[in-house]
Structure 1
Amino acid sequence: MFKHSQLESVKAWVAHPAHAAMPLHARIQRAIRQLIVDGALGPGKPLPASRALAKSLGVSRDTIEAAYAQLHAEGFIDRRVGSGSFVAEMTEFTPGRRLSQRDTLLRNQAPNLSKRGAAMFRSGGVREMLSPRPFAHGVPETRTFPLQLWERLERQVRKEVGVQTLLHGDPQGTEPLRRAIADYVNLERGARATADRVLVLTSSQQAMSLCANMLLDPGDRIFIEDPAYYGARKAFDAAGLECVPIRVDRQGLVIEQIMAEPGRAKAVFLTPSHQFPTGVTLALDRRLALIEWAARHQAWIIEDDYDSEFHYAGKPTACVQGLDPHDRTIYIGTFTKSLFPGLRIGYVVLPPQLVKPMTVARTLLDGHTAPMAQLTLARFMEGGHFGAHVRTMRGVYAERLDVLAGLASKHLSDFVEPRVPIGGLQMPCVLTGDLSERAAVDAARRVGIELLGLSALHAAGDAKAGFLMGFAAYTPLEIEVAVKKLANALRAVTKP
């Protein structure tokens, strides 16, 4: 018979809410197995008779017999006719041994990761809010997305393509979507793309990791904007690259340092259409100079065009890739910002010589992107719905930016100076008073408001303190309520 403590342990395991979904016999089997694994029941120890244990637990004998049968099948117990059930003798490997003090210490130590694994872990990853709240940056409006239209197109795909959508897809991406992407970036972004140069991925983050690992070796240098998108910096750091920060001014990346030391790095990372987080656009003469630098030194330009669809003043500047006759530019795009984050579709337009290597490399990561979503998106684009949706949201976001800028000037003028951008989904604000960035971000979070501090995006220590305020996903009324709540929170922490 079990000791009292062992019986109570089984009862507690069986009654725990976390195990409620398991059948009763499985809960009892797992509880007894845990006693064996933990060493509470050593090799050769007898188990209670099924009738007696059933009575103690208030269950049927058949339930106990089912639990014992599973333990026997897994090799944890021996069953002897006429003698009963016993913990199995496991000599070569005894999972039931008690952990020594040394074992416990080793278990609680940091994992023994590779250098690259340790760098990835230290970075903290790129975490997105599952349920965004004002003013989370980079989040599009999803509540008004034409979901019924999307579902109708998805049904058409299922009807016409059938079970093919349930099988493995082309690792480069479905041909209809690659063609639609090429047509779109050529028309709207001035790119030089063809369907056979497009690689469909799950995100722009995956694209940056691929570029970091396929184009550069650990220890290689890459020029990167300062301030820079945190996801890019983390991807490059994790790949073992040395990020060389280059200052950004009102005309984008300041290229003098690159031109003065042209061979210092093998690549440059840019967000030229709408620099993250400042919102400035890279001047044409600097774009052309970087293209010539890359061609002359056989370097790469990694161009992240993450939200250029949303430009509120005039026509957006053509992408760098479309200006590059030397095929040294990798153009990264995503539908996360223009449609909805749950779609998980991004893409790269590659120089011809990189298409096969990059496609092979992505098969080692996740094989391919889901065909159903790709084919539905292709129809959404081919039917003109993507362009119509972007145009609609561009007007909605422009209005919301105006509302936020006005409310920030009215209610937050004692604390920040808004820097109204000409595009994108977020507005930078620079702190003007004595309030620290950390105090502002913490005060906002306490009242349910999310701000991204600017200082952490800078490599240099002389960054101006401030934060980003995302506006795209929030209605004018939601923005007004949140701005007033933020103003009260900031006043509370600045009161003498």
Structure 2
Amino acid sequence: MNIFKDNPFHPDLNAPLYQQIYTHLRTAILSGELKGGTKLPSTRALADELGVSRNTILNTYRQLTAEGYLESTEGSGTFVARVLPDLLLTPQNHDTPQNHIEPSQPVFSDHARSQMELSRKFVSLPITTTLRLLSPDAPALNAFPYKLWSQLVIKQARYMSEKNYGYQDAAGYRPLREAIAAHVTVSRQVHCTPEQIVIVSGSQGALDLTSRMLLNAGDSVWLEDPGYFGARGAFIGAKAHIVPVPIDREGMIVEEGIARAPKARLAYLTPSHQYPLGVTMSLARRLAILDWAKRADAYLLEDDYDSEYRFAGRPLAALQGLDDAGRVIYIGTFSKVLFPSLRIGYLILPPPLVDSFLTVRRHLDMHAPVLEQAALADFIAEGHFARHLRRMRILYAERRATLLKAVSELPMEMDSPQAGLRCIGWLPEGMDDRAVIRKSVEHGLGILPISGFCIEPLARKGVLIGYGGYKTLEIKDGVRRLKAVLQSM
């Protein structure tokens, strides 16, 4: 197969070689020249053919895999993705009647195309507001004190002054920032003042704003692999060069990140509770990545999701609390601890970044809705938040125990992280996690494939199984359905 006719690449062009090769391959895939399922040459073979280093081809394949254009299978090689959205493919010319005008296809930006292609990495699920059984990370919405919350919202709506209905500070509602600063200082050992906090629309809003502020096209970003899908989407949208960094029992393997991209601009990590594998980053690794960030003049984007729910000992201190050089940007969110539709998260920025972030924020969504911010500030300041967390830790520990007991007879090896709202079921050798997911959808289950979070393939296949949002009978029913799925494979 001759993918590259006449070797059109040249080291003297402005674009790096890997980017030239990336663009050529991506164009060939989108035009249909490279069909879905086509096996590509090995990195070594293609490097020899083009006269470039193997690392150049590795970087190209990794980027295309991260964006969903390629699929890599352990032991089999790298293939063009079999299913691409129709709107990404170049339409073929067809003869049409002279007076018949075909409706034009929407033309989307490269940014939009990359996001839509990335979504294909997960097995397609029908859009529904009904929660499927065993969906990972679903909170116990039926245990939230809605009556109390509605009272706080009504109180704020009634007594807010006229000035609160105009445009507000881009950093967010001041009393909420004060309440968050007090909370994270005690619970997460974060060092901050209210002036360092920016209220955003959930963790995804934090990722989007940070990507806009810190990344130029082609900048390298370390990303945990497997890792959070939303972070990958934000970085692809910024046209960053994503560098997958593998995970082991101590978290992100910092030495591997340095070997792959020593001058990366940014590293995204979930050190307290890695997503999705649930491991905790060791102190040695935390110190190592802080040292690297200081020497490389890079930033660490610490996503501290779900840190409040830990079932053995106290929640671990945040990486930000160890930072003495202003290299850590901290992300927090209330989606899991309260309810997802609240859409309130926050950034804690090193002081030199604050003013610039706020200047750009004013040109985006200005600020989050003030009424909900004000109600949340009261919810925290009056002690309701702390009481809710205590109740939920007990409830989630009970539901976790129910799940682990129920799955004990399934043909899976279970990993049960000491934090978060999900467990991992490792499948028997030879069983494909995506095939399991397709079958599980038919049984009303919401489990997710580990492979959907991977850029480079894992040797083992597994699924994420949630328990937080389900009562005892629902968990047992879900496990019965999962057993039927596994027995049918």
Task: Give the TM interval when normalised to the shorter protein.
Answer: 0.7 to 0.9
Give the secondary structure class of the aligned counterpart of 1:282. Answer: coil
What TM-score, normalized by structure 1, do the two folds share?
0.75
Per-residue deviation, residues 189-245 of structure 1 (Å, max 9, x unmatched)? 010111000000011011111111210101110111111011111111121011111
The equivalent of 1:114 in structure 2 is: 109
Question: For the pair shown, which has the larger CA radius of gyration, 1 or 2?
Answer: 1
Distance 2:360 2:287 in 1: 30
| 8 Å contact kept, 1:198–1:349 | yes
1:475 to 462, 468, 471: 471
How far has the Cα of 1:130 moved from its partner? Answer: 2.7
Q: 1:101 to 1:464 in 2, by over 3 A?
A: farther
Distance 2:231 2:459 in 1: 19
1:309/1:390 contact within 8 Å kept: yes
Name the structure 2 match of 1:369.
368
In structure 1, what is the Cα distance between the partners aligned to 2:456 and 2:375? Answer: 44
* 2:220–2:261 contact (8 Å) kept in structure 1: no
User: Who is 1:16 aligned against?
Assistant: none
Alpha-carbon distance in structure 2 between the residues aligned to 1:102 and 1:463: 56
Find the counterpart in structure 2 of residue 205 from structure 1.
Answer: 204
Alpha-carbon deviation of 1:260?
4.0
C-alpha distance in structure 1 between counterparts of 2:101 and 2:406, whole Å: 56
Q: Distance in 1 between matches of 2:97 and 2:205?
A: 42
Q: Once the two structures are superposed, what CA deviation does each residue of 1:283-312 show, in whole Å capped at 9, x if it has no partner?
A: 011111111111111100000011101001
In structure 2, relative to structure 1, the CA distance for the partners of 1:229 and 1:129 (3 Å cut) is: farther
Which residue does the alignment assign to 2:3?
A: none
Partner SS for 1:450: coil
CA distance in 1, matches of 2:286, 2:396: 28
Map 1:285-304 → 2, pairs under 5 A: 285-304=284-303
CA distance change for structure 1 residues 243 and 465 in 2, over 3 Å: closer, same or farther?
A: same
Distance in 1 (CA, whole Å) between partners of 2:97 and 2:155 is 61
Cα 1:483–1:104 shift into 2, 3 Å:
farther
1:226 alignment counterpart: 225
Matched, 1:273 2:269: no
Residue matched to 2:37: none
C-alpha offsets along residues 112-159 of structure 1, whole Å, 9 cap, x if unaligned? Answer: 333223222322399986332211112111112111111222232223
For the 8 Å contact 1:272–1:305, the answer to whether it is kept is: yes
Q: Distance in 1 between matches of 2:315 and 2:100?
A: 60
Residue in 2 aligned with 1:179? 178
Aligned to 2:307: 308
CA contact (8 A) 1:169 1:369 kept: no
Inter-CA distance 180–101: structure 2 relative to 1 (3 Å threshold): farther
In structure 2, how many angstroms separate the alpha carbons of the residues matched to 1:375 and 1:261? 45
Task: Check the 8 A contact 2:243/2:260 in 1, yes or no.
Answer: no
Alpha carbons of structure 1 residues 101 and 163: separation in structure 2 relative to 1, 3 Å = farther
Q: Report the residue type matching 2:231 in the other structure.
A: A
Q: Which residue of 441, 445, 449 maps to 1:453?
A: 449
Decide whether aligned partners of structure 1 residues 377 and 129 sit closer, same or farther in structure 2, where only a CA change above 3 A counts. Answer: farther
Aligned CA distance change for structure 1 residues 463 and 217 (closer, same or farther; 3 Å) = farther
Q: Look up the equivalent residue of 1:477 and give its one-letter code.
A: L
Aligned to 1:77: none
**RCO (CA 8 Å, sep 6+): is it higher in 1 or 2?**
2
Over 3 Å counting, the alpha-carbon distance change for 1:100 and 1:168 in structure 2 is farther
Structure 2, gaps ≥5 residues long: 1-95
CA–CA separation in structure 2 for the residues paired with 1:374 and 1:300: 28
Partner AA of 2:482 in structure 1: L
Deviation at 1:102, TM superposition (A): 8.4
The answer to whether the 8 Å contact 1:262/1:297 transfers is no
Structure 2 equivalent of residue 351 of structure 1: 350
Query: How far off is 1:399 after superposition?
Result: 0.9
- 1:137 corresponds to: 136
Asked if structure 2 preserves the Cα contact closer than 8 Å seen for 1:419 and 1:429, the reply is: yes
The answer to whether the 8 Å contact 2:215/2:265 transfers is: yes
Measured after TM superposition, the shift of residue 179 of structure 1 is 0.5
User: How has the CA–CA distance of structure 1 residues 406 and 174 changed in structure 2, closer, same or farther, with 3 Å as cutoff?
Assistant: same
Q: CA deviation at 1:460?
A: 1.3
Aligned residues: 390
Post-superposition offset of 1:446:
0.3
* 2:118 maps to which of 95, 117, 123: 123
Letter in 2 for 1:114: S
Give the letter aligned to residue 230 of structure 2: G
Do the aligned partners of residues 292 and 144 (structure 1) sit closer, same or farther apart at CA in structure 2, a change above 3 Å counting?
same
Q: Contact between 1:404 and 1:471, CA under 8 Å: does it hold in 2?
A: yes
Picking from 457, 461, 482, the partner of 1:465 is 461
Q: 1:210 to 1:129 in 2, by over 3 A?
A: farther
Distance 2:372 2:401 in 1: 34
Report the identity percentage: 38
The one-letter amino acid paired with 1:456 is: G
8 Å contact kept, 2:141–2:469: yes
Comparing 185-194 with 111-120, greater Cα deviation is found at 111-120
Tell whether 2:423 aligns with 1:424. Answer: no
Q: Secondary structure at the match of 1:143?
A: helix
Q: CA deviation at 1:461?
A: 2.3
Would the alpha carbon gap of residues 112 and 162 (structure 1) be closer, same or farther in structure 2, given more than 3 Å must change? Answer: same
Cα distance in structure 2, aligned partners of 1:124 and 1:266: 25
The residue number in structure 2 matching 1:323 is 322
Higher mean Cα deviation, 251-260 or 287-296? 251-260
Call closer, same or farther: CA 1:456–1:220 in 2, change over 3 Å: same
Q: Check the 8 A contact 1:268/1:301 in 2, yes or no.
A: yes
How far off is 1:421 after superposition?
0.9
Unaligned runs of 5+ in 1: 1-98
Q: Contact conserved, 2:172 with 2:198, CA < 8 A, in 1?
A: yes
Q: Secondary structure at the match of 1:135?
A: coil
SS at match of 2:276: coil
- Which position in structure 1 is the counterpart of 2:240? 241
Task: Give the secondary-structure state (helix, strand or coil) at the position aligned to 1:136.
Answer: coil
Is the CA contact 1:158–1:165 (under 8 Å) kept in the aligned structure 2? no
Change (3 A) 1:380 1:432: same
Cα displacement (A) at 1:365: 2.5
Change (3 A) 1:100 1:176: farther
> Are residues 115 and 420 of structure 1, via their aligned partners in 2, closer, same or farther at CA, if it must alter by over 3 Å?
same
Confirm or deny that 1:257 pairs with 2:259. Answer: no
Q: Secondary structure at the match of 2:160?
A: helix
Note closer, same or farther for the CA distance 1:167–1:130 as it changes in structure 2 (3 Å cut): farther
The Cα of 1:103 is off from its aligned counterpart by 7.6
